[in-house]
Copies of this chain bind each other. A is one copy, B any other.
Amino acid sequence: MALVCFLNVFPENGLKRQNRIPRAVNRPQRQRALLSGTRSLFRGHRAVSRVASFSLSCVSTHENVSETPDSLLRENDRHAGFSTSRDLKHLEGLPPVHPQMRARFESMIRAAQDSICKALEEADGSGKNFHEDAWIREADGGGGISKVLQQGNVFEKAGVNVSVVYGTMPPEALQAASPGAVARNAGYGGGERVPFFAAGISSVIHPWNPHVPTMHFNYRYFETERGMWWMGGGTDLTPSYLYESDARHFHGVLKSVCDRHDSTYYTRFKKWCDEYFLIRHRGERRGIGGIFFDDLNDRPAEEIFNFSTDMANHVVDAYVPIVERRKHTPYTDEQKRWQQLRRGRYVEFNLVYDRGTVFGLKTGGRIESILMSLPLTARWEYDHQPAEGTPEWDLLDACKHPREWL
């Protein structure tokens, strides 16, 4: 899920704590409170369909809405750039960002979400569509759209989220938001909240067949007060069985997109990916990587936006041909069991290391959107070790010792 979840998680200003009240009784009251308490968030899409789950000690501030809004941004919030009333020295040399970048990034990820889900529905072939949940943030700005396809023909669990959130976050959240964010925003006092804006798309696709790999991608745009901005993202593959031709195809598509934007991108971002997805306690990556980048703002935002757009628009080309090639491959119970053990590793990475997931869980994000990344099922056996020379051992070896595929 990578940094995905930041987009669901920044703690709200004025988080409301409520006692547990039966839903049926509470719904009309909550709807009225929601709609009168916030400004016109969505044009013509005000109906709140149901109350998100909440409990005594962990109140969700995300309200599901019945219709998908045209924009998750308020009309007045579509222009990039926070107040620049503070010391701007740290911004010297920061390339400019287009004033409409917020709205443009949202449009890009919304379009990518639609087209990727459509392609995945076709590859699934079950006639099932992605189930859509749209939600808004009660107290602060923004919301999200979660699309999930569960138990299709090919896909066990496939999720594609977009989120647009803004408001203020505690300084410690900056550290989780990106490694470079704290340094860039130095000067905030202890406990002082930092205004931010974040928009992103994130996805994890878990297929049934152990010969079809899991795929993850995520592209995001951040702003913080004082004109600071950056982008991050990545696309990576987690097979249970290693087909070199699949690895070459996947990395090949990513490289060809990278090369159109910067001849150094693929090499740098492939290495970054291998470093980021390390399950440190196992000494192995969760898969065979792809690309990963963060904190990117070394050139005009326009260029990085174009790169992110191009990457998001080629997720289908990188992944779906592999799905088509492998989805009818027969498999044994033993192969399914190995896939389940690898799914266990996926869970370990996401719950223990993934910055977005861990931060999201600890700071009150929309849990169902954050944990959409977890597989439908996973397995842990005591001291399981594949025998040397087996296909399972080969995959594990590739996870321990990242290979060059191109």
- A residues contacting B by CB (< 8 A) are 20, 22-23, 53-59, 131, 133, 146, 148, 150, 157, 159, 278, 280-284, 340, 344, 347-348, 351-352, 358, 360-362, 364-365, 367-368, 370-372, 374-383, 385, 388, 400-401
Contact = CB atoms under 8 A, between A and B. Distances in A.
Given A281-B365, A340-B377, 9 more contacts: A23-B388, A58-B280, A58-B283, A59-B283, A281-B364, A344-B374, A347-B378, A352-B352, A368-B383
B352 A382 contact: no
Nearest to A24: B388
A150 B381 contact: yes
A368 B282 CA distance: 10
Nearest to A377: B379
Quickly give the copy total for this chain: 2
A103 B54 CA distance: 49
A280 B383 contact: no
Contacts of A20: 400-401
A340 B375 CA distance: 12
Contacts of A370: 281
B372 A382 contact: yes
A385 to B, nearest CB: 6
Given A57-B278, A282-B55, A376 B374 contact: no
A385 B275 CA distance: 37
A400 to B, nearest CB: 5
B401 A56 contact: yes
Contacts of A133: 383
A66 B402 CA distance: 34
Nearest to A64: B383
B351 A150 contact: no
Contacts of A388: 22-23
A378 B341 CA distance: 11
Nearest to A368: B383
B376 A379 contact: yes
A283 B347 contact: no
Nearest to A385: B53
Contacts of A385: 53
Nearest to A399: B55
Q: Would you list the 7 A-B pairs with minimal beta carbon distance, nearest first?
A: A58-B283, A55-B283, A351-B351, A281-B361, A374-B380, A57-B283, A368-B383
